[in-house]
Amino acid sequence: MGHEGSSEIIHYAASEIFPGITIHMQTMYTTWITMAIVFLLFMLAAKKCELIPKGIQNVMEFFIDFLNNLMEGQLGIKGTKFMAPFIITLFMFIFISNELGMLPQLLEPAHFEFTSPTNDINTCFALSLMVAIGVYIVGIIHHGMGHFKHFISPSPAFLPLHLLDEVTKPMTMALRLFGNILAGEILLIVLYRLVPWIIPEFWVMFSLFIGFLQAFIFTMLTLTSYATVFAHHG
């Protein structure tokens, strides 16, 4: 913990842009690349939007359809319509983020390297806190103050458990994603140093799968959080 030194295996390029305000610039750059990729994928799909999908539209529709099915199972039709943009963006952002760190490193690490934005605890907490706060916002939009009733259901004795859940859920979501992706990248770097050929490629393949899996897990947990909000509607 604390300030990173040159001995750190993962570089965040922390820089104090304003006095007292530190930003991990490496995370920022890779996040912007991720955003650009996600944006580009969707714009290409939307630009050549045809009734009979082909190429990139087909790929994006596969993801959207996959997420739609998950959402309809958890949130119902009404909830899906409301939450679709958020869930699709969340999944695609995490998915592309996770895979970004697996790209081959073209430049010297001193200049720039591809890392996952999700290897930064800040990104993971930002996402999980947005999900957690989003549940309150959407809950209040749909049920007003009635949303808070679920804290004392089935009986007021459950209040401490619910409160604990509200804190631990975003924490576990963030730490799970962060741990998986950071560990994957560290192991990849270590493997490259130990055995420069072939073996790390197997780890890259596995990590690509892990990247998808973690995005899926994060999205599923998000859906279960929101399911309680839309479950009242039936």
Partner 1 sequence: MVNINMTLIAQAVNFLFLLWFLNKFAYKPVLKMMEDRKAKIAGDLGTAEAAKNDAEAAKAEAVEALAQARIEAQAIIDNARKNAVAAQEKMLADTRLEQEKVIADAKEAIVMERQKAMDEIRAQVVELSLLAAGKIVEKKLGTASDKKMATELVNSLMK
User: Cβ 35 to partner 1, closest distance in Å?
Assistant: 5
Q: Does 223 bind partner 1 (CB under 8 A)?
A: no
Q: Does 117 bind partner 1 (CB under 8 A)?
A: yes
State which of residues 6, 19, 28, 225 lies at the interface with partner 1 (CB under 8 A).
28
Among 183, 33, 4, 194, residue whose Cα is nearest residue 114: 33
User: Cβ 193 to partner 1, closest distance in Å?
Assistant: 18
* Residue 40 CA from chain centroid, whole number: 18
Spatial separation of the C-alpha atoms in residues 98 and 117, rounded to whole Å: 7
Q: Does 120 bind partner 1 (CB under 8 A)?
A: yes
Q: Rg for the chain (alpha carbons), in Å?
A: 20
Query: Of the two residues 121 and 191, which places its CB atom closer to partner 1 in the complex?
Result: 121
Q: Does 95 bind partner 1 (CB under 8 A)?
A: no
Among 233, 49, 24, 33, residue whose Cα is nearest residue 143: 233
DSSP at 185? H
Q: Which stretch binds partner 1 (CB under 8 A): 50-58, 104-112, 158-166, 190-198?
A: 50-58
Query: Of the two residues 17 and 163, which places its CB atom closer to partner 1 in the complex?
Result: 17
Q: Does 227 bind partner 1 (CB under 8 A)?
A: no
What residue has token string 């720039």?
112
Check: CB of residue 45 under 8 Å from CB of residue 61: yes
Spatial separation of the C-alpha atoms in residues 126 and 132, rounded to whole Å: 10
Query: Of the two residues 57 and 105, which places its CB atom closer to partner 1 in the complex?
Result: 57
Residues numbered 156 to 215 that lie near partner 1 (CB under 8 A) are 182
